[in-house]
Copies of this chain bind each other. A is one copy, B any other.
Amino acid sequence: MKQLSDVQVTIVGLGLMGGSLAGALRGKCRRVVGVTRRTEPIDIALGRGFIDWGTTDMAEGVHEADVVILATPVRVILRQMHEIAPFLPEGCLLMDLGSTKGRVVTEMEQLPNHVQPLGGHPMCGKEKSGIEAADPALYRGCTFILSPLKRTSQEALALGRALAEAVGANPLVIEPERQDYIVAAVSHLPYLLACALVATADATVSADPAAWEVVATGYRSTSRLAGSDVTMMIDILLTNREEVLKALDTYQARLRELIRLLETADEEKMQAVLGVIRETRRKMYPASQQVIE
């Protein structure tokens, strides 16, 4: 079985995710190679010591790789995997870092037999994007979802796990549909709520200069995700549309229940409903973790 320390890892796309992963892997495997469309990210990645070598030539970048990681938007991944497959050596592990897994894994089924495909989704990020925002510590402590296919060998999965652990993440194997269902509710839905909140503030109080002096930390937290990279989020939303729309349906129903309670000023029921919600949130985050909020 291949050891991570012996392999060449080629990362396609040196944005926030790819650049951070390169920096975290450098020195932990034989060679880290970066492939991008433009030369600028390569120069920055070389300057920051994130990669051993970089190229804008896809075939050249991947033909000696033991592991190739697609760190591009989901809809680019869907196309790119087929473009690079002919250049991959026998048994090469092909992973991605896309935030939705259903379509990626379905597409991976079509890859030629010499490729070992593995869906990947590290649950980390930042509001800033690009190689400038990259940080080798980004993956530390985060959950790194792995979605193997039936055809994925145990060795390939083990190498994927080793890679996730090498960058400080906790690998978690989940089926693609289950991951898409979960992240719709805990990641994509919160983004849209934050956006609607910012749009509401913008449409109402933001004209009052006092509004921004009054803003408390609560608004800041609740609206944080609205600062996410738009192109990335659209890619995610459109490749997980059905699950996100279902989550939005449930959310709207829950919100309408809260509104009804407020309209009727049913204090006893409010106490019960909001009390259960508070307890639910507290159980999600044990006391030891609450300090860093």
Residues of chain A touching chain B, judged by Cβ–Cβ distance below 8 Å, are 123-125, 127-128, 142-143, 145, 170, 172, 174, 178-179, 181-183, 185-187, 189-206, 208, 210-228, 230-231, 233-234, 237-238, 241, 244-245, 247-248, 250-252, 254-255, 257-259, 262-263, 265, 267, 270-271, 274-275, 277-278, 280-282, 284-285, 290, 293
Contacts and interface: CB of A to CB of B under 8 A. Distances in A.
Q: How many copies of this chain does the complex contain?
A: 2
A233 B293 CA distance: 19
Contact of A219 (B187, B211, B244): B187
B179 A214 contact: yes
30 contacts: A124-B216, A125-B216, A127-B290, A145-B214, A178-B208, A181-B204, A181-B205, A182-B208, A185-B200, A185-B204, A186-B219, A187-B214, A190-B223, A191-B218, A194-B281, A195-B258, A196-B254, A196-B255, A198-B280, A215-B284, A218-B224, A218-B228, A220-B293, A221-B225, A226-B280, A227-B281, A227-B282, A227-B285, A230-B275, A237-B270
Nearest to A282: B227
B205 A285 contact: no
Contacts of A186: 201, 205, 211, 214-216, 218-219
B182 A224 contact: no
Contact of A234 (B145, B178, B196, B267): B267
Given A174-B210, A187-B219, 8 more contacts: A123-B216, A142-B216, A182-B208, A185-B204, A186-B205, A202-B277, A245-B262, A248-B259
Contacts of A258: 192, 195-196, 199
A181 B210 CA distance: 11
Contacts of A210: 172, 174, 178-179, 182
A282 B226 CA distance: 9
Nearest to A143: B213
Nearest to A181: B205
Given A251-B196, A259-B245, A222 B224 contact: yes
